[in-house]
Amino acid sequence: MALLSIDIGGTKIRAGLVEGDQVQETVTFPTEAHKGAQHVLSVVVRASEVLSGYDGIGVACAGVVSEGKVISATSLLPGWAGTDVAGALREASGVKVTVLGDVHAHGMGEALCGAGRGYSSCLTVAVGTGIGGAFIDNGCIQRGAHALAGHIGHISTSYAEGLECSCGRSGHVEPLASGSGVMDRYEALTGERCDGREIDRRAQAGEQNAVDVLYGSARGLGEVLGSVANVMDPAVFVLSGSMTRSGKGWWDSLAQGYASSAMNLVRETPIVLGTLGDDAPLIGAAMQWRKEWQ
């Protein structure tokens, strides 16, 4: 059975046919979030019409999702809250639709088919433009009472004091340790806008501003992960996203931050790199569709 999976992000919308745990043909469109929620939704529907031969649709959707609708979203997608993604796709395609938050879908993919395969529980953390998380326990997503579970990017850390977050609060780890946060902080210090790869190169070369920004952000993120481990006790952490492509200094700093806050019983919890890349949310959305409809 072929399924169509659609990954709705702040900068791009990617759709692909999924057979088993493999992504086949894919198409990509720019999100153009600045044009508003209805435009984004029209692009999502168009993506469902470009590919054919599928029996259902699984969606990995930016924002907090409940019963196929977006119930909360950050400023990265203006006006996105309230959007009925499942309803629009059902009307357009005539097939059954399942919608997950994008990081929940990513977590399902890695837990069932990627780096978390074989562990009883898996906490996936995506560290890219933003920071999100998903806790998968015995193959099931833990959503929480308000579908908000897993929002690791919105945990406070002393390293992020005074930094404004996309959710409207301050002091959260997302504006500290996400890719956009690292670039913003480096620019604030130096007046120069560089991408994450260049900042990593400069940090490895010993440039002090790059070291302070990049490795300080990793220590803050590690501290947050240690606190999460104390509360949730996952069998493994799986990290993915653009920031995880940073060099050894970033990973060493993350480990230092983790060790500083993790209790002794969880100090040795593995922290591993995801293996599915951009396919993780597509695969996870398809896996959730099968759990709900097969």
Q: pLDDT for 154-177, tens place per residue?
A: 999 999 999 999 888 999 999 999
Report whether 99 contacts 56 (CB < 8 A).
no
Q: What pLDDT is recorded for position 221?
A: 98
| Residues 7, 94, 86, 99, Cα dihedral to 10° | -50
Question: Is residue 270 pLDDT above 90, yes or no?
Answer: yes
Dist CA 263 CA 266 (whole Å): 6
* Both tokens assigned to 280: 């993780």
pLDDT category at 67 given cuts 50, 70, 90 is very high
The domain covering 115-275 belongs, at the CATH homologous superfamily level, to: ATPase, nucleotide binding domain (3.30.420.40)
Q: What is the mean pLDDT of the chain?
A: 96
In Å, how far from its chain's centre is CA 18?
20
pLDDT in tens, 91-106: 999 999 999 999 999 9
Residue 74 confidence class, pLDDT cut points 50, 70, 90: confident
The mean per-residue pLDDT over the stretch 210-236 comes to: 98
Residue range(s) occupied by CATH 3.30.420.40 in the chain: 2-101, 115-275
Work out the angle at residue 35's Cα, subtended by the Cα atoms of residues 83 and 3, and round it to the nearest 5 degrees. Answer: 50
Query: What pLDDT does 167 receive?
Result: 85
pTM reported for the whole predicted model? 0.91
Q: Which CATH number fits domain 2-101: 3.40.50.1860, 3.40.920.10, 3.40.50.300, 3.30.420.40?
A: 3.30.420.40
